[in-house]
Structure 1
Amino acid sequence: MLSYQLLVLAGGLTLAAPVVAQQGTKADAATLAKIKDEGLNRSKVMDTAFYLTDVCGPRLANSEGLNRANEWTKKQLADWGLAKAAIEPWGTFGRGWDIEKSYVAMTAPYYHTLIGAPKAWTPGTNGALKKAVVVVKAATEAELDKYKGQLRDKIVLLNVTNVPKPSFEPDARRYTDEELKKMADFKPEAPTTARPADAEAEKRLAERKALMALRTKLADMLVSEGAAAVLSSRGGSDGTFFTSNGAPYAVDAKPVLPELEMAPEDQLRLIRLAEAGIPVEIELETRTRFQTQDLKGYNVVAEILGTDKKLKSEVVMLGGHLDSWHAATGATDNAAGCAIMMEAVRILKATGVQPRRTIRIALWGEEEQGLHGSRGYVKNHFADPATMQLLPEHEKLAAYFNLDNGAGKIRGIYAQGNEAVAPIFQDWLKPFADMGATTVTLRNTGGTDHLSFDAVGLPGFQFIQDPLDYGTRTHHTNMDTYERLPADDLKQASVVVASFVYQAAMRDAKLPRKPLSAAKPEGRM
């Protein structure tokens, strides 16, 4: 999932008449029982998750790991009997990048290994380095000037702003009944012709822009001053660190120094020693490789073909993003979502359902850098949000369901402000009340691939999942590994998703749509 998570209050839409909202929503109890039985008693979801994480490895955008995952998922979906399994290009992305070696340790005042990994799209060190360090702390561009002439041939330690503190809150949690009720009771704000400026939001945006400008200035200065490498930290605790990219993935990106992202405890120890006047020496070696022979990005798609003469040309889609960050194996972000979506279509094939509409699974590439895979797919198949010129397939999409909020079980679904669809979803959730899935909220949720569909007026939805330790321990960290995947939660989610997809494929009408929005400038959602 993207680094940001936006909660946007939906505008006021008129509730659709009950006769329309309830059209074709009666559940087929016998089929739902088969779905539950297959998904709970003969599940393959953890096997799939194992292959996506441990076998395929980290799946950074356009990396060898993502290529492995694309090939494996295409074959697996075809082996399960899905039709038209393909790796489909969505457009141009940029350079791929892989780590071939990474090592960092403190060698003075004593030896100690350190926790860290190269930042994505940074170069290697061209052999082992053993260098003294310099601490750089600067909140403004003017403060950078005092470090001129001090950085040549040094390893630069950047300041840690998110210092770990003792916490008495659990890492992992589930939604309480009170939290779910608050979601369910949410009422959209009445539409207004103009919203007052959010001074606090504008202040945060200005601060972010200033920080980005400072970071760019610093990167340029480190190169020009002849520094050897950089150690930095975005935060975390207890050996967990958050990871990101240290340079753009564009082919023509400016050169930067080798940079490792560190566990904050290790980074802070180095800083304390250096600031106490105790000489600190670091030994490190990174070997990274850029891939430029194929700059395209890809999605994996496959189908269960529809059987109704009138409706088989219409499509129900489900998906999640297959790419991940690189410091771990991307288990909760988002191998879990992909494994669940793959399990949902496996369940439907295993139970022998004959969907009226075609069911299409899509495993997106390059989500972490800006929803690129799903945006490219939507632009190629449905509409370009920049122009809102609709393609013929736009009319044929019945619904899109997304999963990308970690590994927690499904507790309900975000209706994205679509009041007409809410009673339909409430009806579909009734068979799963005993499994904890009960809540339909009119709230919007952001940061992931359903937004690409919603942006062009298509009914795209993200499920509500228990947060577990997604926000505290696994999201974009070096701890996002297979061990963070609770099997029972993934099984439950697979059954709920399979049911939603089945019912969307079987109902008489496509799901209700919100009014089309105006065209948006390029790059905005």
Structure 2
Amino acid sequence: MQRKLLILPALLLAGMTLAQDVDLKAIEKIKKEGLENSKVEEIAFQLVDKAGPRLSNSEGYERATKYAVKQLSDWGLENAATEPWGEFGRGWEMEKSYIAMTAPYYMPFIAIPKAWTESTQGEVSGKVVFLDIKTEEDFAKYKGKLKGAIIAIKPSGTQEATFEPDAVRYTASELHGMEHPVARENSTYTPEMLAQYRAAREFGTKVSAFIAAEGAALIIKGVNGRHGTLFTSSPRGYLKDTPEGIPELETAPENVNLMARLSENGVEVEVEAEVKTRYRNEDLQGYNVIAEIPGSDPSLKSEIVMQGGHLDSWHGANGATDNAAGCIVMMEAVRILKATGLQPKRTVRIALWGGEEQGLHGSRGYVKNHFGDRETMELTPEYEKMSAYYNIDNGTGRIRGIYLQGNAAVEPIFNEWFLPLDDIVDDRTITISNTGGTDHQSFDALSLPGFQFIQDPIEYRTRTHHTNMDTFERLELDDLKQMAVVVASFVYNTAQRDEMLPRKELPKVE
């Protein structure tokens, strides 16, 4: 997630937007149901433990969508279904993964196959070859020497001890700092840095193509992480026409560094490994889960308030904090609204997105199909009926505020909505800042009000985000309960307003 900090005349705009009285009795009903009769643990079991890893178009993703559709229907939501958003590509299943160093002594390694990697066609074994390729001229020294070889690539970075805690919550001063950001340029990347990144990516593609052409048997790559946690999420091969490549395993940096030190000191290193994977080519469409609570007001029920989070995950673990947590919260929020018997005036629609990890595909496809095309700025009739979208996708941490995405006109409204929640949202902040990397951006790109809540980090960046440790144990259930109450309150308040939320100006066609 990258933040773009903007300074806008918030105080001037605040005076132009009048807040409405909040229905305090309704908010108390939401709190009581969400905190005393929560179902987040049951939902978490279904989405995390029972569905398993939810890589887009995988069997685990399909299990999760079927559960969500049935559960939402059972709670009384209408039109619950999986909705195609466009072509995604192939699904992929990991059926076996094993690697160990066998010489100079035996040691099992921690490793995960890259997503959409090929199989090794049985067990492979042999000497490990470390490549030293810095330019295309270096290809020559390996030409004809890599047939059946096991290639190892060292990770960048070091493994010194860190004295920072893995799990943290925001302090009051940190939240206050978000509220008053320092202005800076929208991009922290210079043209030179972007050019270097593109060049490195293009060179990496050439190296992979060379290794594949030479017929290597396996690539072992050390990845970022420490203490057995692997940040493994590299996308490859999901597009239907992707050519076959070399099987790749991502392993702990400690494992690859061990082999490198041995090799550099003249000790021959051998490994044995097996990767067995399978593609799913039957249905290339991508799917979102959609359901709704129809509005009760005849004049407002055609207008929409949306809430959502991405349902897909990576494959190294069960995607508990990224992003079953967001889906658990959103499902619990609509359950609360139904269980309390509240009657939102506008239609409340929940969306659990697919394809987010490969580029926000599910939400972008949905927005294009329902509201408009960002490239041409051709808008649909539904565009004028969309009030707001609320997103959760920053882990398991409780809500501490909200990012306004530069929409200063909503600040006084959100301030009023947070006041009845002061007993469960402590030291909160509302910041004009943008935040990125998740599905609210698909709405914001068309100037539809789209918001991501500020959440306590907990272990998101250190232990769980795209890792092999993103399991049920990493969920903070009480935090999920709090989030569901906040989301349900914001969604209900949005649905009850006399007017839809104010919008930013439409972007220009680029």
TM-score (norm 2): 0.96
Unaligned 5+ residue runs, structure 2? none
Matched, 1:504 2:500: no
Matched, 1:135 2:130: yes
Amino acid at match of 1:444: N
SS in 2 for 1:420: helix
- The CA distance in 1 between the partners of 2:371 and 2:186, in whole Å, is 34
Amino acid at match of 1:228: A
1:6 matched residue in structure 2: 2
SS in 1 for 2:358: coil
SS in 1 for 2:297: coil
Instruction: Answer whether contact 1:119 1:259 (CA < 8 A) is retained.
Output: yes
Distance 1:45 1:196, change over 3 A: closer
Question: Relative to structure 2, which stretch is displaced further, 396-405 or 263-272?
Answer: 263-272
Shift of 1:266: 1.1
Instruction: Answer whether contact 2:5 2:181 (CA < 8 A) is retained.
Output: no
Matched, 1:475 2:455: no
2:255 matched residue in structure 1: 266
Q: 1:403 aligns with which of 392, 397, 409?
A: 392
Shift of 1:12: 3.6
- The CA distance in 1 between the partners of 2:122 and 2:249, in whole Å, is 15
Distance 1:419 1:237, change over 3 A: same
Map 1:316-395 onto structure 2 (within 5 A).
316-395=305-384
Q: 1:58 aligns with which of 47, 53, 57?
A: 53
1:42 matched residue in structure 2: 37
Distance 1:178 1:197, change over 3 A: closer
Instruction: Answer whether contact 1:323 1:364 (CA < 8 A) is retained.
Output: yes
Identity of aligned residues (%): 55
Distance 1:258 1:187, change over 3 A: closer
Question: Relative to structure 2, which stretch is displaced further, 432-441 or 385-394?
Answer: 432-441
Map 1:270-309 onto structure 2 (within 5 A).
270-309=259-298
- The CA distance in 1 between the partners of 2:113 and 2:187, in whole Å, is 39
Q: 2:18 aligns with which of 6, 22, 32?
A: 22
SS in 2 for 1:125: coil
- The CA distance in 1 between the partners of 2:246 and 2:420, in whole Å, is 55
Unaligned 5+ residue runs, structure 1? 190-194, 521-525
Root-mean-square deviation over aligned CA pairs: 1.7
Question: Relative to structure 2, which stretch is displaced further, 50-59 or 244-253?
Answer: 244-253
Distance 1:453 1:134, change over 3 A: same
Q: 2:503 aligns with which of 505, 513, 519?
A: 513
Map 1:78-477 onto structure 2 (within 5 A).
78-186=73-181, 200-245=189-234, 247-437=236-426, 438-477=428-467
What CA deviation, in whole Å up to 9, does each residue of 1:447-470 have, x standing for no partner?
A: 000000000110000000001110
SS in 1 for 2:422: helix
1:523 matched residue in structure 2: none
Amino acid at match of 2:210: M
Distance 1:196 1:417, change over 3 A: closer
Amino acid at match of 2:436: G
Shift of 1:20: 5.2
- The CA distance in 2 between the partners of 1:136 and 1:335, in whole Å, is 39
- The CA distance in 2 between the partners of 1:428 and 1:246, in whole Å, is 40
TM-score (norm 1): 0.94
- The CA distance in 1 between the partners of 2:217 and 2:186, in whole Å, is 48
Shift of 1:107: 1.4
Instruction: Answer whether contact 1:409 1:490 (CA < 8 A) is retained.
Output: yes
Shift of 1:267: 1.4
- The CA distance in 1 between the partners of 2:104 and 2:74, in whole Å, is 57
Question: Relative to structure 2, which stretch is displaced further, 440-449 or 262-271?
Answer: 262-271
